[in-house]
Chains A and B, each alone.
Chain A
Amino acid sequence: MTGTTLTYLALFSLVYVVAILLAHRGKARHGSGLTEFFVSGRDLGLGTAIATLGATEIGLITIAYNAQKGFNEGFSAFHIGLAALVGCVFVGALGFVVKPIRRTGVLTLPEYYEQRYGRDIRIFGAIVMAMGGILNMGLFLKVAAVFLAAMLAANGAEVNVNALMITLIGIAVLYTCYGGMRSVIITDVFQFVLLAAGLLFAVVFLTRLIPLDQAISLVKEHKGVGGFDPFANESFGLSYVLWMVLVAGVVSAAIWPTALSRALCIEKEETVQRAYLISSVIFLSRMVIPAFLGVLAFCYFNIPALGGADLLSGHGSDADLVATPLMLGHAMPSWLLAFLAVAMFASFMSTQDSYLFCWASILSRDVLGPIFGTIENEKAQKWGTRTLIVVIALYELYWGLIYEGHEDIWDYLAVSGSIYFCSGIVLLAGGLYWKGATRRGALWALILGFSAVVALSPIKTALGLEAVSSPVIGFAAIGLSLIGFVVGSLSERRAPSEETGAA
């Protein structure tokens, strides 16, 4: 069994690596230049835009945290997918932020900050953006390693997972440094197909093992109403559901830089809205399908006849995280497990490449560029980005080992991301839709939005705020940022007339 799985795994991995190389065949035809490196020549069509959005937003981390939610909270975890659908349809239907930001012609989001508010806001905004983003990806490696190790170990396949993860990151770093955004996108297309096929095969196979009716009965029996009704579930409630519409929907699609940067790569402005509208079903599926796998894992370990009951013992507080991969490893035939493992590699790498490139390019172009006067220097920008990609990848290895917060994974991601997006949503939407926005307002919004950092578990504990939920802190941070933005802008606009009056 073990040998067979490893043979299939080696075979599928080889095909996958060859596919990455083949995908780069036509890359040289696209030439060079800053536009080519940072926004893939701005030539994306509809299908490619959907694929790259989907691949970036469905990482192995996405699968892991949604499976964890499904395992713990049952079907009520599906509300996160519904919230994401609602938020993304809103963005697609109105073109909220994505359409006007594409019209500006910028290469990175902080560049828009400079257009609208000034150079210092570009630098400060870029630092906040990159800090939130890099903290956000801190858990990616650790969670992915735990997930893959559990999945393969449950099948008896002994693999050095740390070496495997370093290899996967290494490959992603290599091709991202080589081709910039173009490489990220051309690999995203087949990575998306691979991970989607893997997830769908897993659902089809497992629902033959545990029919949906049986899963519903088991969740009813063990979790009661809270397993279905998110408003009755103690872990969720109204503020959490509203927070999800904002975080999983609007922010994930229209504010989060890795997603929003795709809007900057699309060739035609009118395609932007269509891409987001169609992608709204991916924003739904990326939450619902892994959450369903988590529900099935919960059922799997509550059906003694399936023989997996002992697998969870000994995993302690990690049991909810490893339950789904343990089920996959235990239930799947060798060939399907190996295929699924490679699909997981694809989902891990498609997110890694986008995140590494996004934060590195922002730091290079919007922090180092303005400071050293190299914004339009192609060589400096490319090498700056490449160097930072390597540095962030190394930092990710380090951070994945030291952070010991106690949020579940999704809540950690929402909180760390909010360090950026609490002010990001105000600066982007405010700048695009309110003519009265000014530099002072943007500065105050950035400073006050940073208060979202309070929701991180270690800081919350240090301040004695354990009783306050993360959604409440998040909404408060956005509110503070918005107030700072409006008051700062209004006070700056009044200042000249006051001076005139005084004179």
Chain B
Amino acid sequence: MSVDDWVTLWTVLLWVSAGAFGLVTIYVLCGFVRRLSNFG
């Protein structure tokens, strides 16, 4: 693989990583809020 190929791979991986991390966090947060409202 050339350096440019590696750059493409790591760039995609970085944004997938950040995006997926954000989505999972929102999913967990929604569940947490729903649980808190159930307590109330």
Contact B3 A228 (CB under 8 A): yes
B20 to chain A, nearest CB (A): 4
* Interface bits B10-38 vs A (CB < 8 Å: 1, else 0): 11011011101110110111111000000
- The answer to whether A81 and B13 touch (CB under 8 A), given A278-B24, A285-B20, is yes
**Contacts A190-B32, A281-B20 hold; do A197 and B14 have CB atoms under 8 A apart?**
no
A284: chain B residues within 8 A (beta carbon): 13, 16-17, 20
| Neighbour of B29 across the interface among A81, A193, A212, CB < 8 A | A193
Question: Are B21's CB and A281's CB within 8 A?
Answer: yes
- Chain B residues, Cβ within 8 Å of A197: 25
Known A-B contacts A47-B28, A50-B24, A193-B32; A203 and B18 likewise in contact (beta carbons under 8 Å): yes
Q: Residues on A close to B: CB < 8 A?
A: 25-26, 45, 47-48, 50-51, 54, 75-76, 78, 81-82, 189-190, 192-193, 196-197, 199-200, 203, 212, 216, 220, 225, 228-229, 278, 281-282, 284-285, 288-289, 292
Additional A-B contacts beyond A75-B7, A284-B13, A288-B13 (4; CB < 8 A): A193-B25, A200-B21, A203-B18, A282-B24
Q: CB-CB < 8 A to A278: which residues of B? A: 24
Could you tell me if B14 and A54 are in contact, using CB atoms closer than 8 angstroms?
no
Bound complex: CA of A228 vs CA of B8, how far in Å? 10
- Whether B28 pairs with A228 at a CB distance below 8 angstroms is no
Q: What's the tally of chain B residues with a CB closer than 8 Å to chain A? A: 23
Given A75-B6, A78-B10, also A189-B32 (CB < 8 A): yes
B21 partner residues in chain A, CB cutoff 8 A: 196, 199-200, 281-282, 285, 289
B39 touches A26 (CB 8 A): yes
> Using a Cβ cutoff of 8 Å, how many contacts connect chains A and B?
84
Q: Return chain A residues, CB-CB under 8 Å to B32.
A: 47, 51, 189-190, 193
Q: Kindly state the separation between the CA atoms of A211 and B2 in the bound complex, as whole angstroms.
A: 22
Rounded to whole angstroms, the CA-CA distance of A192 and B30 in the bound complex is: 13
In the complex, chain B residues whose CB is within 8 Å of the CB of A225: 3
Chain A residues within 8 Å of B17, by CB: 81, 281, 284-285, 288-289
Q: Is the CB of A54 within 8 A of B22?
A: no
Residues of chain B within 8 A (CB-CB) of A200 are: 18, 21-22, 25
> Which residue of B18, B24, B29 is within 8 Å of A289 (Cβ)?
B18
Closest chain A residue, CB of each to CB of B28? A51
Q: Given the complex of chains A and B, what is the CA–CA distance between A196 and B24 in angstroms?
A: 9
A292 and B21 alpha carbons, distance in the complex (Å): 14
Decide if A192 touches B28 in the complex (CB within 8 Å).
Answer: yes
Residues of A within 8 A of B10 (CB): 75, 78, 228
Q: How far is the CA of A98 from the CA of B18 in the complex (A)?
A: 26
Q: How far is the CA of A82 from the CA of B20 in the complex (A)?
A: 14
Docked Cα-Cα span, A278 to B27, in Å, equals: 11
Would A78 and B14 count as touching, CB distance under 8 A? yes
Nearest chain B CB to A51 CB, angstrom units: 4
B15 — nearest CB in chain A belongs to which residue? A212
CA distance A325 to B39 in the complex (A): 38
CA A295 to CA B27, docked complex, whole Å: 29
Contacts of A76 in B (CB 8 A): 6
For B20, list chain A residues within 8 Å (CB): 281, 284-285
Q: Can you report 24 A-B residue pairs in the complex whose CB atoms are below 8 A from each other? A: A26-B39, A45-B31, A47-B30, A47-B31, A47-B32, A48-B31, A50-B24, A51-B32, A54-B28, A190-B32, A192-B25, A192-B28, A196-B24, A200-B25, A212-B11, A281-B16, A281-B17, A284-B13, A284-B17, A285-B20, A285-B21, A288-B14, A289-B17, A289-B21
Which residue on chain B has the smallest CB distance to residue A46?
B31
Minimum CB distance partner of A278 in chain B: B24
Measured in the bound complex, the distance between the Cα atoms of B27 and A192 in whole Å is 12
Chain A residues contacting B3 (CB-CB under 8 Å) are 220, 225, 228-229
For the complex formed, measure the closest distance between the CB of B18 and the CB atoms of chain A, giving whole angstroms.
6
